[in-house]
Chains A and B, each alone.
Chain A
């Protein structure tokens, strides 16, 4: 049977907290081999959307399918196909890098876990830190550990919530390079949030602009600014943040 083209399908996804619509019925997809940028100002609903795709936040309405599997009815298999890394979700600092990876290899059912752990340690230049506790690593090293964890089980869908935030340019460039190599090698799909518009232009083949819980714009990050009368993606981002209603009308 042919593998589904879409690794992520989101339909009518909504989350209401009291009287506030954090996410107001969004729908989008990520195809195999595609890196999609999920953009928007703080509070636009990006992390809320990712939390719902990860199944750690129950939606008020809507559905999520990962690699053709409904998250509500096939949570385990769907999450086994999903990798996740975020700057705010570091691994426990009181365990070593290798111990953390060993635990997540068990959780994700990684076959031949030991060779695979060695492989990601080498890939992310972490071998010399394998017996160091994660809590003593620099933020760049911790970001690499988080990414090693996210890729350990060779996921088909990768959710990256600001993976390069607060990292120096060299580490950020390495991370972008690793992700692109992974996508090229495996045809995985990636949903990537970032506030760095140059990074988004460099990495993403398509972007979704979220504002007030709704998708306001969608398209090629290199073509979208001109379509909306802006010179750069950063200008477009600022316009989305400050004048979403004006943009909606264009």
Chain B
């Protein structure tokens, strides 16, 4: 990347940093909802640990899963939120009348999402460790590819979400927010994929997070890291990222052909 491109990506990130810095309403959600999730699932796992005759530790299975799944949703929504800030402030004309290119803009959205997601993840880790004794390091080195897969798939879905809103108009945002909840049953966040009926399992194997949660359970059960499965998940993420970029570029071209970029707002698009 040239220094000019890096500077322009930095400008997009700086815009979102300024927004976060000056707005408690944007900072609080980074921690608030996940804190509620951690507390709810933390007490649930504590209760289940008490019931379990085999002294099975539910903390790394359930609480770890909540944490990882929330990270994935946060990455995806982070990309979409950064984009929506420009929709709501009707900033597209000024942005794209500057030397900023489309890939630079998307990279800026992704970098903004990475920063906010990592801050949120750090906050969640502190809470889950301090309050419920979650040992995130128990996943070992597999934690890195786990997070990488969730991160890459979150980015891919975030880019597709942004493209959908660009194509269908801001009213389509209601399509974006529930996506993680819709995927969760297929991704086997809280249960093994073997629990699912066959048709659901077929969908699950197409979703990279499924491999992460199966792998996480394998590590907790002491069966080691399923390296082949993680490689498959990373490969799938690569495919989804390429498809997402292709979809976004096509949508942006359509928007530029139709004049949507110049007058993109809640009133004109859709």
Q: How far apart sit A209 and B46, CA to CA, in the bound complex (Å)?
A: 76
Q: How far, in Å, is A105 (CB) from chain B's closest CB?
A: 8
With A51-B262, A79-B98, A99-B18 known to touch, is A107 a contact of B256 (CB < 8 Å)? no
| Additional A-B contacts beyond A54-B97, A84-B97, A104-B11 (19; CB < 8 A) | A56-B262, A57-B259, A57-B261, A75-B101, A77-B99, A80-B99, A82-B97, A86-B93, A89-B94, A89-B97, A91-B94, A92-B85, A94-B22, A94-B89, A95-B15, A102-B14, A106-B10, A106-B11, A107-B99
When the two chains form their complex, are residues B93 and A109 in contact, meaning their CB atoms are under 8 A apart? Answer: no
Nearest-CB residue, chain A, relative to B2: A76
When the two chains form their complex, are residues A104 and B98 in contact, meaning their CB atoms are under 8 A apart? Answer: yes
A56 CB contacts on chain B under 8 angstroms: 92-93, 96-97, 256, 261-262
When the two chains form their complex, are residues B101 and A76 in contact, meaning their CB atoms are under 8 A apart? Answer: yes
- Number of A interface residues at 8 Å Cβ cutoff, please give it: 35
Q: How far, in Å, is A91 (CB) from chain B's closest CB?
A: 6
Q: How far apart sit A54 and B95, CA to CA, in the bound complex (Å)?
A: 11
28 A-B pairs whose Cβ atoms sit less than 8 Å apart in the complex: A17-B259, A48-B259, A55-B96, A56-B256, A56-B261, A57-B257, A58-B253, A58-B256, A58-B257, A79-B98, A84-B97, A88-B93, A89-B97, A90-B90, A91-B91, A91-B94, A92-B91, A93-B89, A94-B19, A94-B22, A95-B22, A96-B18, A103-B11, A104-B11, A104-B94, A106-B7, A106-B8, A106-B10
Q: How far, in Å, is B4 (CB) from chain A's closest CB?
A: 6
For residue B172, CB closer than 8 A to chain A, the reply is no
Task: Give a binary string over B9-31; 1 marks a CB under 8 Å from any A CB, 0 the rest.
Answer: 01100110011001100000000
B99 CB contacts on chain A under 8 angstroms: 75-77, 79-80, 107-109
Q: How far, in Å, is A89 (CB) from chain B's closest CB?
A: 5
Q: How far apart sit A83 and B164, CA to CA, in the bound complex (Å)?
A: 30
A86 CB contacts on chain B under 8 angstroms: 93
Q: How far apart sit A55 and B256, CA to CA, in the bound complex (Å)?
A: 8
Interface SS of chain B: helix
A58 CB contacts on chain B under 8 angstroms: 253, 256-257
A-B CB proximity, top 3 nearest: A106-B11, A92-B89, A76-B99
For residue A149, CB closer than 8 A to chain B, the reply is yes
A82 CB contacts on chain B under 8 angstroms: 97
B256 CB contacts on chain A under 8 angstroms: 56-58
User: Inter-chain contact count A-B, CB under 8 Å?
Assistant: 92
When the two chains form their complex, are residues B8 and A107 in contact, meaning their CB atoms are under 8 A apart? Answer: yes
A103 CB contacts on chain B under 8 angstroms: 11, 14-15, 18
For residue B245, CB closer than 8 A to chain A, the reply is no
When the two chains form their complex, are residues B100 and A107 in contact, meaning their CB atoms are under 8 A apart? Answer: yes
Tell me which of B8, B90, B91, B253 has the highest count of chain A C-beta atoms within 10 A of its own C-beta.
Answer: B91
Q: How far, in Å, is B93 (CB) from chain A's closest CB?
A: 5
B261 CB contacts on chain A under 8 angstroms: 56-57
Q: How far, in Å, is B18 (CB) from chain A's closest CB?
A: 5
Q: How far apart sit A104 and B93, CA to CA, in the bound complex (Å)?
A: 13
When the two chains form their complex, are residues A108 and B262 in contact, meaning their CB atoms are under 8 A apart? Answer: no
Tell me which residues from 26 to 71 in chain B have a Cβ below 8 Å from any Cβ of chain A.
none
Tell me which residues from 50 to 102 in chain A have a Cβ below 8 Å from any Cβ of chain B.
51, 54-58, 75-77, 79-80, 82, 84, 86, 88-96, 99, 102
B93 CB contacts on chain A under 8 angstroms: 54, 56, 86, 88-89
A93 CB contacts on chain B under 8 angstroms: 89
User: Among the listed B86, B89, B95, B262, which residue makes an inter-chain contact with A57, where contact means beta carbons less than 8 Å apart?
Assistant: B262
Q: How far apart sit A107 and B91, CA to CA, in the bound complex (Å)?
A: 13
Nearest-CB residue, chain B, relative to A146: B94
